[in-house]
Amino acid sequence: MAKSAGEAKATLKPPGNQPKTARGEATRKAILSAAERVIGAKGYNDASIGHITSEAGVAQGTFYIYFSTKEQVFSELVLEMGRLVRHTIAEATQGVEDRLEAEKAGLTAFLEFVCAHPDLYRIVQEALFVDPHAYRVYYQTFAAGYQAGLEAAQEAGQISKGDAETRAWALMGIGRTLGEQLVVFKSDKPISEIVASGHDLIVNGIKP
């Protein structure tokens, strides 16, 4: 019942137009992927529709067959980034019983991900201005999952007691900034070293 209504008037969003053919599907993907590269490289404002479509190898008007607005393609990228990151980390920590080990695996996976997708990484930051809602969703979803994980680990006695919400944000911040050091500031330090130092900090702190 709730489902049938959603089709006619799109309870949540009018997504431009969804392709109905394999050809359309391919074109839409081409545009989306071009947008990722172009926006990631030049930023939202300097990335014109013309740039994006020419990178995708289609005419300018084609863009508006699949996206109703420039902002929409951006939002979609942010959403996709969120799903990808969470999926990547979930996969990497799958089956790791010890939380401290899971932290290490998660941090490693995250840093590898941002190295593989430097564009997407920058895009999320710009969302704070271009699409604040997407930005909030991105971080709040991530933080909520993180917090739940920490709380479970506390119950299990795998980590010390503490304010899981603040911890979640703080740990997220560590990953974020270390990722930025890699991608934005182009550090050549190997990921394994960064993870080792970062993880030691997370586990033991800095007290003598």
If binding is defined by CB under 7 A, does position 47 make contact with DNA? Answer: yes
If binding is defined by CB under 7 A, does position 70 make contact with DNA? Answer: yes
Length of the chain: 208
# residues near DNA by CB under 7 A: 28
Q: How far is the CB of 160 from its own copies (least distance, A)?
A: 5
Q: Among 41, 44, 82, which residue's Cα sits nearest to residue 172?
A: 82
Q: How far is the CB of 193 from DNA (least distance, A)?
A: 41
If binding is defined by CB under 7 A, does position 99 make contact with DNA? Answer: no
Q: Give residues 3-42 in contact with DNA (rule: CB under 7 A).
A: 17, 19-27
Q: How far is the CB of 83 from its own copies (least distance, A)?
A: 20
Q: How far is the CB of 195 from its own copies (least distance, A)?
A: 9
Q: How far is CA 89 from CA 81, 84, 106, 107, 192, in A?
A: 12, 9, 5, 8, 16
* Token code pair at residue 142: 């991530």
* Orientation of helix 132-155 relative to helix 99-116, angle to 10°: 160
Q: How far is CA 162 from CA 124, 139, 152, 167, in A?
A: 29, 21, 12, 8
Residue type, 23: R
Q: How far is the CB of 84 from its own copies (least distance, A)?
A: 20
Among DNA, its own copies, none, what binds residue 192 when CB lies within 5 to 8 Å by partner kind? none
90 vs 170 by CB, closer to its own copies: 170
Alpha helices in the chain (DSSP H): 2-9, 22-42, 49-56, 63-66, 70-93, 99-116, 118-130, 132-155, 164-183, 191-204
If binding is defined by CB under 7 A, does position 118 make contact with DNA? Answer: no
Positive or negative torsion for Cα 31, 24, 16, 80: negative
Q: How far is the CB of 3 from DNA (least distance, A)?
A: 18
56 vs 202 by CB, closer to its own copies: 202
69 vs 197 by CB, closer to its own copies: 197
62 vs 181 by CB, closer to DNA: 62
If binding is defined by CB under 7 A, does position 43 make contact with DNA? Answer: no
Contact positions toward DNA, by CB under 7 A? 17, 19-27, 45-50, 58-65, 68-71
